[in-house]
Amino acid sequence: MSTIATFKQLVRLVFALPAAAIISSCTTTEIDEFRQSATTIGENESIVILGRRQNNNYETEGSFVDCVANVVASGQNGINVVNEQEFLDAMFPFFEPRTAPMRTGHLEQLMAVDIAAQKIEEFGIEYIVWLDGITQRSDQSGSISCTIGPGGGGCFGFGTWSDDSNFEAEIWDMDTLSTVGSISTEANGQSYMPAVVVPIPLIARVEANACSGLGNQLKQFINGT
């Protein structure tokens, strides 16, 4: 097959792919909620959303924590959310990875420390939400090669991969010092990268959908709706 014929096939491919890829790259999201106790929150009360960073294999990304916090704080029935870094700085060293309470049983010890209890009260913290999870890439296939020559350059090829996001939020009630429930989300999708001269990424918004789904469900959970 001639180089011109191959190029024409690639051009047809890159224009045929977007419509199919946009459909195929849609993200599927599943959300599960487990409630142990009723919840409610007042106008002058707040929550703080913290990322678990005690795992040796990964750390929950701060960008995902910020994303969920923004969803919970915005829109109808938005909740006051204390900034994670502001909270960690004020509570140092009680929520550092090595010293942070891993279970609600540790909260009694924490609240027995006067300065810690005072800071929690100053922030008006009614619930602490722990986020734990990661987004992983898998099933990568295809290849893209780029060349530069006297007449110019370009990239040719096609690549695809899967992204999977798995996150869980555990909600602690600071009045009862107990777990009131948890929310888990699983999102996955297929992304594509066709390239004829210029790569055209068609990215599945897996983590963004996981953030939106988890954030909205968390807002409803804490509001008791």
What does pLDDT average to in each consecutive run of 10 residues of the chain (225 residues)? 47 47 65 96 96 84 96 95 97 93 92 95 97 85 75 75 91 96 93 71 83 97 92
Distance CA 145, CA 147 (A): 7
* pTM score of the predicted model: 0.80
Task: Report the distance separating Cα 188 and Cα 162, nearest Å.
Answer: 7
Structure tokens at 132: 């734990």
How do the residues of the chain divide into helix, strand and coil, expressed in percent and rounded to 5?
35, 40, 25
The confidence score (pLDDT) of residue 54 equals: 79
Q: According to the model, what pLDDT value does residue 154 have?
A: 75
- pLDDT value for 23: 44
Q: Cβ-count burial of 225 within 10 angstroms (0-12 exposed, 13-18 middle, 19+ buried)?
A: exposed
Residue positions counted in the chain? 225
Q: Distances from the Cα of 26 to the Cαs of 16, 33, 38, 57, 213, in angstroms?
A: 17, 23, 35, 28, 15
| Contact status, residue 182 vs residue 104, Cβ threshold 8 Å | no
Among 130, 112, 114, smallest CA distance to 122 is for 114
pLDDT the model gives residue 3:
45
